[in-house]
Amino acid sequence: MDTGKVETRISNGIATIEFFHPQSNSMPGELLRSLACEIENAGKHKETKVIVIKSSGEKAFCAGASFDELISISDLETGKKFFSGFAAVINTMRKAPKFIIARVQGKAVGGGVGIASAADYTLATEAASVKLSELNVGIGPFVVGPAVERKIGSSAFAALSINAGEWMSAEWAREKGMYASVYPTIAELDKAVEGLATRLSQSNPEAMALLKKVFWEGTENWDTILAQRAEMSGKLVLSEFTKKFIESFKQGVR
């Protein structure tokens, strides 16, 4: 099976990191580790002034955790390792000394919502509705939770987590602060992303690095917190409830 890919292009000070997976840009562990690595390398690259994260295609931005990999987890260590992949991506985005723009062209689920929230500035289309579906599976949005809650506030995060089966519109996400702006078409989105990235590529790198540190003050303990959250998810994915859900899903009941 195609495990997907992550590619980075650097041009005129803009590092564009694009990920792809044939199953609606879902995220297996290998792809998560590659994405975290590419973000870290782009942040260190001397030519990079700003980073853009995007996914391939015109539909889903990111469908979250790879369900194929999720259903294969059979022990705590494997579960913790898998969810640690999301933790690595979020922490790498947080620590990168360059501003990160997320370009969200379509629906975002679970980990995709985490990426959209961990970016320093997120632009989206009107089709980019969001959902935290983890509770439906029998776990919870524990790893992405700190990033989402930081971006939209505890009340909106609770609503998104509890209404696990409900899509919230891109306009809702904009009103809550997850998206800075929403555009009718992908072409308009790309024009906005390019314009912002170009302006930032011409800004003072030292000032931007210092400003990013200011933005992320108070998150210095996230390495520890997200590791703990990954273990929580790793345990829950082995629970009887989740096993039954997965079994019914495999049988086509859900």
| Apex 214 CA angle, 209 and 218, nearest 5 | 130
| pLDDT at position 250 | 55
Query: Would you place residue 88 in the very low, low, confident or very high pLDDT band (cuts 50, 70, 90)?
Result: very high
Q: Mean pLDDT in the chain?
A: 94
List all residues 6 or more positions away from 253 whose beta carbon is below 8 Å from its beta carbon.
Answer: none
Average pLDDT in the 53-60 region?
96
What single-letter amino acid sits at 143? Answer: V
- pTM for this model (two decimals): 0.94
Report the candidate in 170, 172, 187, 192 with the shortest Cα–Cα distance to residue 107.
Answer: 170
**Reduced to 3 states, what is the DSSP secondary structure of residue 57?**
coil
Q: Can you give the residue ranges of every domain in the chain? A: 5-188
| Apex 117 CA angle, 17 and 236, nearest 5 | 105
> In the chain, helix, strand, coil percent, each to 5?
50, 15, 35
Average pLDDT in the 97-124 region?
98
| pLDDT at position 251 | 63
Q: At what angle do helices 222-236 and 145-152 cross, to 10 degrees?
A: 120
| pLDDT at position 60 | 97
**What superfamily would CATH give domain 5-188?**
2-enoyl-CoA Hydratase; Chain A, domain 1 (3.90.226.10)
In the predicted model, is pLDDT for residue 1 greater than 80?
Answer: no
Interval 24-35: pLDDT, tens: 999 999 999 999
Average pLDDT in the 139-157 region?
97
In the predicted model, is pLDDT for residue 254 greater than 50?
Answer: no
Interval 216-247: pLDDT, tens: 999 999 999 999 999 999 999 998 888 787 77
Query: Would you place residue 252 in the very low, low, confident or very high pLDDT band (cuts 50, 70, 90)?
Result: low
Average pLDDT in the 131-157 region?
95
Percentage of residues in the chain having pLDDT higher than 70: 96
Query: Rounded to whole angstroms, what are the CA distances from 159 to 115, 124, 165?
Result: 19, 21, 11
